[in-house]
Structure 1
Amino acid sequence: MSSQAQTTVVGKLADISFLEGHWLGTYNGGPIEAGWTAPAGNNIMGYIRMIKDDKPALYEVFAFEQTEKGPVAMVKHFKPGLIALEEKAVSDRYNFIEAKKNQALFEKDDISVRIIYERRSQNQLVIQRGKLEDNKWVFIDLFIFNRIP
């Protein structure tokens, strides 16, 4: 889809079903593990677990819920001990913008960040983070995962 297109795209959870599976990568010198369920009951659940020096560093819990405007990604972050970083009733929210085959783009509610979820091959999943620089979105690979059984 062209960025100039004026049509409103309503995404479906099927557009991000490529996330399903168990994934492992490295981040900040330690392993990072992720998993996402298949779509069911108008949602997809997921997690990311970061480990540093053989100890938990950060947990992220994801819920992608279907809305009339498309999937909304809600993320809560926890320190070791399952201590929430966000307030009890608050989560980071990312709204669906568009999807292509094995790729979906989301934007944070405050428009400060965009996230691309991309399955680059059958066994590789990449999450990219984008920030606005000189009126252009610039993306970097944030997490690179390989499928694990």
Structure 2
Amino acid sequence: MKTLRLLPLLLLLPFLSVAQSAKPATLAAVSFLEGHWRGTHNGGPIEAVWSAPEANNIIGFIRMMKDDKISLYELFAFEQTAAGPVAMVKHFKEGLIGWEEKDKSDRYRFLEASAKEALFEKEDGSIRIIYEKRTPDQLVIRRGQKKDANWAFSDLFVFNRVR
């Protein structure tokens, strides 16, 4: 009789040990971003560069231009934390004048990844961002917002690798 009571627990044991040993994701989940990328956005060129993961961080930038002038800079830092990667973004206009307060940035927590895609969610839960490497030479950043209890995503930036 005691054996029958322990049977459900014994059946769950392999799953419990896997859950306890699960490790948080690392920056390797977004290492596919590395490189120099170009595209167009709102009628002007857009350029992005991301470094390889090193010392628990990836650094990158996007610059958007229109009519031969800068329209926006975005500086990215992906940092490894105990809970997994965190993406931080600061926006600047011409003259490197920040949009956010000096000690503030938009922060996105890592949710999940596959070999060619990583999903992040803004701290307040209002926006999700997918970084997707569609081909070896194409990188897409998709932005999602909740609509009718589901997330709806659209391409925000489409980049091609610079050779």
In 2, the alpha carbon distance for the partners of 1:46 and 1:73 equals 11
- Asked if 1:71 is matched to 2:85, the reply is yes
1:84-114, Cα deviation, whole Å (9 max, x unpaired)? 0000000000000000111000000010000
* Residue-by-residue CA offset, 1:3-38 (whole Å, 9 max, x unaligned): xxxx77721100100000000000000000000000
Give 4+ residue runs of structure 1 displaced > 3 Å after superposition.
none
Superimposed CA distance per residue, residues 28-84 of structure 1 (whole angstroms, 9 cap, x where no aligned partner): 000000000000000000000000111000000000000011100000000000000
* TM-score of the superposed pair, with normalisation by structure 2: 0.86
What residue in structure 1 maps to residue 138 of structure 2?
A: 124
Name whichever structure is richer in helix by fraction: 2
TM-align CA RMSD: 1.1
Instruction: Tell whether the 8 Å contact from 1:9 to 1:98 is kept in structure 2 after alignment.
Output: no
Give 2:15's aligned residue.
none
Does structure 2 conserve the Cα–Cα contact (< 8 Å) formed by 1:106 and 1:115? yes
Q: Is the strand fraction higher in 1 or 2?
A: 1
1:64-143 alignment runs, 5 A limit: 64-143=78-157
The one-letter amino acid of 2:161's match is R
1:31 equivalent among 45, 65, 70: 45
Ranked by relative contact order (alpha carbons within 8 Å, sequence separation 6 or more), the top structure is 1
Report the Cα distance in structure 2 between the residues aligned to 1:20 and 1:105, rounded to whole angstroms.
16
Q: 2:74 aligns with which of 39, 54, 60?
A: 60
**Residue deviations 1:113-135 (CA, integer Å, cap 9, x gap):** 00000000100000000000000
Q: How many residues align?
A: 143
Q: Which runs of 5+ in 1 are unaligned?
A: 1-6
Identity of aligned residues (%): 64
Question: In structure 2, the residue corresponding to 1:112 is in which secondary structure?
Answer: coil
TM-score, scaled relative to structure 1: 0.94
- Which one-letter code corresponds to 1:84 in the other structure? G
